[in-house]
Structure 1
Amino acid sequence: MNGSAVWHPFTQHAVEPAPPAIARTDGAYLETRDGRHILDAISSWWVVTHGHRHPRIMEAIRNTTETLDQVIFAGLTHEPAEELASALVAMAPSGLDWVFYSDSGSTSVEVALKMALGYFRNIGAPRSRIVVMGQSYHGDTIGAMSVGARGVFNAAYEPLLFEVDTIPFPAAGREQATLDAFEALSRDGQTAALIVEPLVLGAGGMRMYRARVLAELRRIAERSGTLVIADEVMTGWGRTGTLFACEQAGISPDILCTSKGLTGGSLPLAATLATDAIFRAHYSTDRTRTFFHSSSYTANPIASAAALANVGIWKEEPVAERVAALSWMQSEKVARFSKDPRFENVRTKGTIAALDLRVGSAGYLAEVGPRLRAFFLERGLLVRPLGNVIYVLPPFCVTSDELDRLYETIDEAAALASDSR
């Protein structure tokens, strides 16, 4: 123990060293209290898009604190949240007309699940089955854990989790099995919703699948009247190469969850977007049909202003070009490992690159994971492998030279890992 009273997330304090203290952030870098600069190669858990402390977002935060702090959002409203909702509806896939705010990716998923069940109850045709994709992850609250893969993340909490039906991950060459499984489950008309991470399963190992699979899942859902929930918490805001990953499949989900990059990574905020049909199912003079959900900091004005500034950056700066450039660089630079026998499944999707290290055990608890993390940190790189899966998910401002240094260090790390087997 190092004397700190802080209990860190996803950290086994019994075996891990005291974490470096970060004193400052700027662009693609974190600066420690003793002056070391660390390249943030994972966007501080996938939230920082344009770079740390983008001036426009910081200015919006400062300006808003001069007039607003938290305002209860039940029965009151404020301009930042109103303007942001209008902007999100305009930017999101068509048909998503209503915005419900919360404060994290997990809570946006909880909101989505409750909306889906409430919809069917309120239209007088209750359904309770939720279908999920194997190896998925949707957060760490009870509902979000229930619709994620069962395993080390949630084994201790199994008694609290509700049952779901699982379709297999659509690995290349086995996509039809996924589609057939969903078709079979949805045939009896009892499935309320299918929840998916579009195109990339993040914490499940940066598993990637084809857009046409997502499009076909949507078509099957429409035939059975099943709602589709797109968990775009990680995949949204340019990560997969487009603003939202659903765009690549040409689909509009019934419900879309967004967080992480929503504020450019500056403050916690989430939104769950829904169709007018789902809103109307809750709209009634019968108060029992109210959507009963909130959190104390729903639609925080300062976070909403940060998100609105982020929207402005997307509209007025060449963000799409930056995303395209980073996507190209990732594809070019990770290709050096495509025929390297130390790696397998070298892959990219938009700004995300990932590769699996062939060493000993696989999975999140693979022993090589903490060793790799420490190795990268010693060299001034923030990389958090998912067990033996090394992934690179940097802010859009990262340079080609910085990526070169990162991939050279991955090469070095793989050599050391191979030597230690």
Structure 2
Amino acid sequence: MNSYVKKDLKYIWHPCSQMKDYEEFNPIVIEKGKGVWLYDVEGNKYLDCISSWWTNTLGHSNKRINEAIKKQVENIEHVIFANFSNKPAIEVAEKLVKMTPDRLSKVFFSDNGSSAVEIALKMSFHYNMQKGNTKKKRFVALSDAYHGETLGALSVCDIDEFNKVYKPLLLDTLRVEGPDCYRCKYGLNRDNCNAECFENMKKCIIENHEEISAVIIEPMVQGAAGMKIYSPVYLKKLRKLCDKYDIHLIADEIAVGFGRTGEMFACNHAQISPDFMCLSKGISSGYMPMSVVMTTDEIYNCFYGDYEERKLFIHSHTYSGNAMACAIALENLKIFEEDNIIEANREKGELIRKLTLEKAKLSKHVGEVRSIGMITAIEIVKNKETKESYPWNMRVGYEIYKIALNKGLVLRPIGNILYFIPPYIINKEEIEFMVNTCFESIEEYFKREK
């Protein structure tokens, strides 16, 4: 055990971890990164196929972003964002308005995804209170949803590992059974269905519309639910029903925005525009914490007026509109445009999907391969015919993850779901290494368990 690991275990409490596990499975101390690769203090290297929690879109130590940071740090690193502004924030806001779906014309800055969700929930509720819609005090969210881990965000989550213990503190959210295309109750396929499962949402909204302020949803992919990918028809139906009953639609694109699904934004698959769009992660390519909430002129104007009217939206974070983060985001978005990242993503995503499907056909342990854009997920099952899952306490995915690490692949699972969400700059050889190593690790685990 090197000195860094000893000090880490002595001083640091890691997130999403049972620290007792670290006694046998020590933390890996990363010294540097380049492209899709991470290098630890002992000289080992690992392919980062999860983009360091889905955020590093353009690879580690990207030369252009590095230069943008150097340039910005010589000017201004941070300045109060109330009654002050900065050039990178203004320029990135302009770019975001031009590239996001129609109607999203205002940008509210914050510093992380959970905060963006909190802001959208608060804005929706506050808007309705100022409009006199005083019954509209509740939110609707899908089963197995994940939207962050502050109390407001947890209120619209539905994953026990995150929110069960805090339920006495949480908002009374209306919960709707979400799409589960792998185990579809209607026996249909997401590629050609009419989102028949939307009936659950429709029933909830019709029965409770007078008290619903907003519906929040992860467009196209429920990430922490196990990369559940569903039909864009679901989003089209949801937008139409929200319009009918004067309900806000909040699109949580924190994980799926900025090209991850093969479109710049996941809502583009359904050609809809939400009332709020929460963005983070890929906006700054993992370099610095940053998030924004995009919203409409109608919502913005509801808070516009004389100070004495008390209509203002008071929600502030110290690092809102941080000049360094905005400079990074601006360069990130320029690279997207100039290097045609979206089109390249589609080709690479298809290659990942193709190679994964080929390997999955030869494995009796993979139940489904689900894929969209630069997201490909593999569900490990006990029985392919019945789609029976392994019990969570077997930690099958976690054990495969540990084997893969020894082979040089960061493959952090969600339960028994393994997934590829690599940086967009990954090349063909790296894709082949990623897929092959994953399946080698799966087979090694089950041979060991026999």
TM-score between the two structures when normalised by the length of structure 2: 0.90
* Partner of residue 143, structure 1: 152
TM alignment of 1:103-252, pairs within 5 A: 103-126=111-134, 127-172=136-181, 173=184, 174=186, 178-187=197-206, 188-252=209-273
- The answer to whether the Cα contact below 8 Å between 1:25 and 1:31 also exists between their aligned partners in 2 is yes
Residue of structure 2 in register with 1:377 after alignment: 405
Q: Which residue of 1 aligns with 2:373?
A: 350
Kindly state the Cα deviation for residue 166 of structure 1 after the two structures are TM-superposed.
1.2
Q: CA deviation at 1:418?
A: 2.4
Question: Following the alignment from structure 1 to structure 2, what is the Cα–Cα distance between the partners of residues 118 and 345?
Answer: 42
Whether the 8 Å contact between 2:277 and 2:294 is mirrored in structure 1 is yes
Say if 2:14 is the partner of 1:8.
yes
Shift of 1:106: 0.7
Of 293, 305, 321, which aligns to 1:272?
A: 293
Q: C-alpha displacement at 1:182, in angstroms?
A: 2.1
Which residue number corresponds to residue 411 of structure 1?
439
Q: How far apart, CA to CA, are the structure 2 residues paired with 1:99 and 1:161?
A: 27
Measure how far apart 1:409 and its partner are: 1.9
SS of residue paired to 1:272 = strand
Matches within 5 A, 1:248-397: 248-285=269-306, 286-339=308-361, 340-359=363-382, 362=390, 366-397=394-425
8 A contact 1:363–1:387 mirrored in 2: no
Is the 8 Å Cα contact of residues 138 and 231 (structure 1) preserved in structure 2? yes
Distance 1:122 1:350, change over 3 A: same
How much does 1:89 deviate?
A: 0.3
Q: Shift of the alpha carbon at 1:74?
A: 1.3
Cα drift, residue 361 of structure 1: 5.7
Unaligned runs of 5+ in 2: 187-193, 383-387
The answer (yes or no) to whether the contact 1:366–1:388 under 8 Å persists in 2 is: no
Question: Is 1:50–1:264's contact at 8 Å kept on the other side of the alignment?
Answer: yes
What is the letter of the counterpart of residue 354 of structure 2?
E
Question: Relative to 1, partners in 2 of residues 1:268 and 1:179: Cα closer, same or farther, differing over 3 Å?
Answer: same
The whole-number CA distance in structure 1 between the counterparts of 2:424 and 2:31 is 22
- Tell me how far 1:410 sits from its aligned partner: 2.1
Aligned-pair CA distance for 1:190? 2.1
Distance across 1 between alignment mates of 2:436 and 2:159: 35
Q: Equivalent residue for 2:107?
A: 99
TM-score, length of structure 1 as denominator length: 0.96
SS in 2 for 1:14: helix
CA 363–55 in structure 1, closer or farther in 2 if over 3 Å, else same:
farther
Q: Do 2:352 and 2:435's aligned partners in 1 also have CA atoms closer than 8 Å?
A: no
In the alignment, the residues of structure 1 paired with residue 178 and residue 199 of structure 2 have an alpha-carbon distance, to the nearest angstrom, of 12
- In structure 2, what is the Cα distance between the partners aligned to 1:295 and 1:111? 11
Secondary structure in 2 matching 1:396: coil
Q: Once structures 1 and 2 are overlaid, which stretch shifts more, 265-274 or 311-320?
A: 311-320
**Residue type of the partner of 1:334?**
T
> 1:18 deviation in Å?
1.9
For 2:245 and 2:324, locate their aligned partners in 1 and report how far apart those are by CA, in whole Å: 41
Any idea what SS the aligned residue of 2:13 has? coil
> Hey, what's the Cα distance between the residues in 1 that align with 2:227 and 2:374?
12
C-alpha distance 361-417 of structure 1, shift in aligned 2 (>3 A): farther
Q: 1:57–1:306: 8 Å Cα contact kept in structure 2?
A: yes
Q: Is the 8 A contact 1:80 1:305 kept in 2?
A: yes
Residue 76 and residue 198 in structure 1: after superposition, are their counterparts in 2 closer, same or farther (change >3 A)?
Answer: same
Which residue of 1 is the match for residue 96 of structure 2? 88
Q: Distance in 1 between matches of 2:419 and 2:228?
A: 11
Indicate the residue corresponding to 1:65 in structure 2.
73
Identity %: 34
| Aligned-residue offset at 1:178 | 3.9
The 3-state SS of whatever aligns with 2:418 is strand
Q: Residues 365 and 214 from structure 1, CA distance in 2 versus in 1: closer, same or farther, beyond 3 angstroms? A: farther
1:341-381, Cα deviation, whole Å (9 max, x unpaired): 21112110111001111249647654223212211111111
More helix by share: 2
